[in-house]
Amino acid sequence: MKTLYFAGGCFWGVARFFSGVPGVQKAVAGYANGRTPDPTYAEVYSDLTGYAETVEVEYDGRQVDAATLSRLFFCIIDPVSLNRQGEDIGTRYRTGIYYPDLEQAEAIRPVWEERRQKAGASFAVEFRPLENFYPAEEEHQDYLEKHPGGYCHLGPKIFRYLQLWSDARSLLEGEADPVAVMALLSALIQQRMRFFWTGFYRVVDGTLVLGPFQGDVACLRIGYGKGVCGSAWAEDRTLVVPDVEQFEGHIACSTLSRSEIVVPVHDAEGRVAAVLDIDSTETDTFDASDAAWLELICYLCRL
């Protein structure tokens, strides 16, 4: 069994989140990297002790690894929010990954670096050795199981995505055929999240060609740099479009589509091999959290 420490805002929600990850045996709410020994909740709450509300995640390395846990962690935090997550403000709500040994540190570093580069100068996620950790009082353990409907800064969408990711991972285990993978993922995403259109366009001979999808009939081919899909491919980054009418060159496969997200899918060499395109009939459907989750899901289908 291995242990890692994640500070991601209020530990009630973070503990509930990690306890739902397959391979995690235990998620203990506590206080890490502060000054005074054995602090109480009230002392940490004063924000004078230097502690961060942190979750100790005990996991079975055969089922889930440190890099995957870190990728999941980046799906539940705002990495550019300093000392604040959701409505919770204070240094005790800072974000960080605290590692107890160098082996785990080396496994996590590329994930942290990638996120740091994406986020730019405001990146606020610590990456440090664990100095100390004290479990919180019993009333804070399994808090949201004891208080269903209690305060949780992580919204329901996060828990729906966690279930989706975890089901996709087990359903796709051992499957290498790209069309099968894309077919299963588009059906699963569409079924669980109830979007308007979910599908893949594959890169074939220098153009995007329609692949497995769920929803209305869509255009068959999209050129490099064209529309949202072709732009995400050319720029090799996720594009979140809150209002398709504001996106110059948007290709309207359906007049009902109002907002959209497109995520590049990479092959083993890191080249864009396809894009995942999701449309909604409402404006402003997708945000940075959708982007992080869908990137993680696309990571499952290295083509």
* Closer to ligand SME by Cβ: residue 84 or 226: 226
> What's the alpha-carbon Rg for the chain, to the nearest Å?
20
Q: How far is the CB of 252 from ligand SME (least distance, A)?
A: 7
Our answer to whether residue 10 is catalytic in this structure is yes
Nearest-approach distance from CB 190 to ligand SME, in angstroms: 12
Please tell me which residue in 10, 75, 152, 229 is annotated as part of the active site.
Answer: 10
250 counts as binding ligand SME under rule CB under 6 A = yes
User: Which residues are CB-contacts of 8 (< 8 A; sequence separation ≥ 6)?
Assistant: 14, 17, 55, 73, 76, 77, 85, 95
Helix, strand, coil abundance in the chain, percent, nearest 5: 35, 25, 35
Query: What is the C-alpha separation between 260 and 240, in angstroms, rounded?
Result: 6
The tokens 């990711």 sit on which residue?
165
Say how many residues make up the chain: 303
Cβ-count burial 80-119 (b if 16+ within 10 Å, e if not) = ebebbbbeeeebbbbbbbbbeeeebbebbbebbeebeebb
Number of residues that bind ligand SME (CB under 6 A): 14
Kindly tell me which of 52 and 263 has the beta carbon lying closer to ligand SME: 263
Q: Which of 78, 279, 290, 295 binds ligand SME (CB under 6 A)?
A: 279
Q: 96 or 230: whose CB is closer to ligand SME?
A: 230
Site for ligand SME in 194-233 (CB under 6 A): 197, 218-219, 222, 227-229
Q: Which is nearer to ligand SME, 21 or 222 (CB)?
A: 222
Near ligand SME in 23-82, by CB under 6 A:
none
Point out the residue whose Cβ comes nearest to ligand SME. 227
Rounded Cα–Cα distance for residues 303 and 301 (Å): 6
Q: What are phi and psi of 174, to 5 degrees?
A: 80, -5
Tell me which residues are annotated as active site: 10
Q: Which residues bind ligand SME (CB under 6 A)?
A: 197, 218-219, 222, 227-229, 250-251, 253, 257, 260, 277, 279
